[in-house]
Amino acid sequence: MGTKYLLALKRFTVWLLSGFTTIFIRFGRELGPLAGLIAISLFIWALTPYFLTVENLRNIVQQSSINAIIALGMTFVILTAGIDLSVGSILALSAVVMAKAMQAGLPPSVTIGVGLAAGAACGLLNGALIAWGGLPPFIVTLGMMSSARGAALVVAEGRPISGFGPEFQWLAQGSVLGVPMPIWILLALTLMGYLTLAKTSFGRRTYAIGGNEEAALLSGVNVNLLKLAIYAISGLASAVAGVLLTARLNSASPNAGIAYELDAIAATVIGGTSLMGGEGGVFGTLVGALIIGVLRNGLNLLNVSSYLQSIVIGAVIVVASLLDRYIKSHQNSRLT
């Protein structure tokens, strides 16, 4: 049975890849990652009966929601050819600031506002330094990554804070119409992101900056103000993720979110947004985050060793980028 099984697996993989590539070329950025998501899901479904249950699918979306929300903000940043390395630290800082406010006895609605404001403030500071300080985003957000983490440790005195009551936990553990709250929040934010990028002049200018910053500037776009807003969006998205994470774990830890920037960048890139800026969108990013979520879930269900899991996820990031490059060269040759 062993060799027959392997042969079938091999043939199946070849089919999968050729199908994936074809669809990717045909429909481009938005549908390519979706085809990938479906292909990977079918593949895992074929290998384990535990994958395709309503409960498990709900789990996957819920598990992906924190990364996806950070990645939505990251998409705006990457569309302008920037990068935000500070998202994980901002997540932790806004979470512990909110937790401290809650310990002080403020009602949840106010404390959530405080947490979100903390995240947005960090983002604004990032944006201001990048826009008016003229520093590269990599450096500014690297600095923020360290400072915000330190600030989180100071605020929380190094310890996780817990005990927020059922009202607050409902945000992560409650559900409406059978759909868990994190999924609703994720869908709402994705829709908002999509509308902003596709239907507003703010969105068009975001693409313009990423496509050619000089040209955007010359055609009258207030590049500095736009960058300020975009890094604030990223900070805000991280803070929303921080609120959800805190509700999910019923505690806010100053050590939360370490290395989350890598997952968020991965989701954005797998979703087809170009690191060079100017191309991509939030639906792709949502799909990218789901791809990572499905892979992690599937590899758990299949009891694949955690060492191999890291290899697989790394490989998917690289393969997605390769496909991206392949398409670009294909499209360019068609144009000429």
Contacts with another protein by CB under 8 A lie at: 8, 11-12, 15-16, 18-19, 22-23, 26, 39, 42-43, 45-50, 53, 55-56, 59, 63, 66, 153, 157-160, 162-163, 169, 173, 245, 248-251, 253, 255-256, 258-259, 296-297, 300-301, 303, 305-307, 309-310
| Cβ-based neighbour number of residue 282 at 10 Å | 27
In the complex, the smallest distance separating the C-beta of residue 203 from another protein, rounded to whole angstroms, is: 31
Nearer to another protein, 107 or 158 (CB): 158
The answer to whether the beta carbons of residues 90 and 287 sit under 8 Å apart is no
Nearer to another protein, 81 or 319 (CB): 319
Q: Which residues contact 304 (CB under 8 A, 6 or more apart)?
A: 312
Rounded to a whole number of angstroms, the minimum distance from the CB of residue 306 to another protein is 5
Q: At closest approach, how far in Å is the CB of 249 from another protein?
A: 4
Considering beta carbons, is residue 71 or 229 the nearer one to another protein?
71
Check the CA dihedral 67-72-76-81 and report its sign.
Answer: positive
**Residue 183 or 248 having the CB closest to another protein:** 248
With residues binned 3-state (H G I as helix, E B as strand, rest as coil), the percentages for the chain, rounded to 5, are 80, 0, 20
CA 210 to chain centre: 19
The closest alpha carbon to 113, from 128, 104, 125, 101, belongs to 101
Our CB check for another protein shows the closer of 47 and 179 to be: 47
Instruction: Identify the bridge partners of residue 252 per DSSP, sorted by sequence position.
Output: 161
Give every CB contact of residue 180 below 8 A, 6+ residues apart in sequence. 58, 61, 62, 172, 173, 174
- Give CA–CA dist 117/103, Å, rounded: 17
Residue 144: CB minimum distance to another protein, A: 20
Which CB atom, from 42 or from 106, has the smaller least distance to another protein? 42
- Amino acid identity of residue 34, one-letter, is L
* CB closer to another protein out of 250 and 321: 250
Rounded to whole angstroms, how far apart are CA atoms 155 and 88?
16
